[in-house]
């Protein structure tokens, strides 16, 4: 269901910052907008024919929000009519995105913001996606969220950055109720790891459901061959985009 602008961890810059998107009906729906994301979107011409951009945020680490201000400025000063706010940001209230953008020098008039507690929906023309936020563990003292997405009769899980999979999410997966499951997965395996190791993913996911699971947010040296032999899929970043 999702395509990926980048699929790397913060320091794995060759793969770009992990960010997913859907482009349809003149809408670009984006999950996170890290430090390298805006430049990759712009260079790929993904913004061609787009009338509105929706950005759904998982947490506030720079590899997930670092170029959000740039994207907002593009939407306000370049895209469509000058001085129209064409970027709509969705974020759980706990992320305090308004205050973060203010510190970046991004004025409130330049974007639309919807803050929510648990469930929300974005609609523009014929495009509609519903999402439910699930708080997850990543690093101490930082609120982080995964999402259950409902789009075109498909249900997708997007983990964001996390070092575990909530029990009820695993139950939904093993009951076959997720069509696609995107999980932050890394080679690194140590105590207090902020991300989920491939070893732990192997322990958590039953074989019968692994064809629906995609590893993302890959660290340097991630063993793709081992992940594939274990029955998992691996997200690949796009290099160009079919604009037809």
Domain boundaries, the chain: 3-234
Within 115-158, residue ranges assigned H as helices are none
Q: How many CB atoms lie within 10 A of CB 225?
A: 9
Residue 40: beta bridge partners?
none
pLDDT in tens, the chain (244 residues): 899 999 999 999 999 999 999 999 999 999 999 999 999 999 998 999 999 999 999 999 999 999 999 999 999 999 999 999 999 999 999 999 999 999 999 999 999 999 999 999 999 999 999 999 999 999 999 999 999 999 999 999 999 999 999 999 999 999 999 999 999 999 999 999 999 999 999 999 999 999 999 999 999 999 999 999 999 999 999 764 443 3
What pTM does this model have?
A: 0.96
The Cα 151–Cα 182 span in angstroms is 15
Residue 165 DSSP code: -
Is CATH 3.40.50.150 the right assignment for the domain spanning 3-234? Answer: no
Let me know how many helices (H) and strands (E) the chain has, helices first. Answer: 7, 14
136 within 8 A of 159, measured Cβ to Cβ: yes
């Amino acid at each position: 269901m999702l395509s990926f602008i980048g699929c790397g961890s913060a320091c794995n810059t060759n793969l770009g910052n992990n960010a997913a998107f859907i482009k349809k009906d003149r809408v670009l729906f984006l999950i996170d907008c890290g430090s390298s994301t805006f430049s990759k979107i712009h260079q790929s011409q993904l913004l061609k024919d787009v009338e509105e951009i929706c950005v759904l945020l998982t947490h506030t680490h720079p590899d997930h929000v670092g170029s959000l201000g740039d994207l907002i400025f593009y939407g306000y000063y370049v895209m469509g009519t000058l001085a129209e706010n064409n970027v709509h940001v969705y974020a759980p209230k706990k992320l305090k995105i308004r205050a973060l953008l203010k510190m970046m020098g991004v004025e409130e008039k330049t974007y639309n913001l919807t803050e929510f507690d648990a469930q929300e929906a974005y609609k523009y023309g014929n495009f509609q996606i519903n999402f439910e936020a699930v708080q997850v563990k990543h690093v101490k003292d930082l609120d982080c969220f995964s999402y259950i997405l409902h789009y075109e009769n498909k249900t997708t899980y997007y983990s964001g950055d996390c070092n575990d999979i909530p029990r009820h999410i695993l139950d939904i997966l093993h009951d076959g109720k997720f069509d696609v499951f995107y999980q932050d997965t890394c080679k690194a395996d140590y105590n207090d790891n902020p991300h989920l190791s491939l070893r732990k993913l192997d322990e958590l996911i039953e074989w019968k459901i692994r064809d629906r699971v995609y590893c993302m947010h890959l660290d340097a040296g991630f063993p793709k061959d081992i992940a594939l032999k274990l029955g998992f899929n691996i997200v690949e970043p796009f290099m160009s985009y079919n604009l037809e």
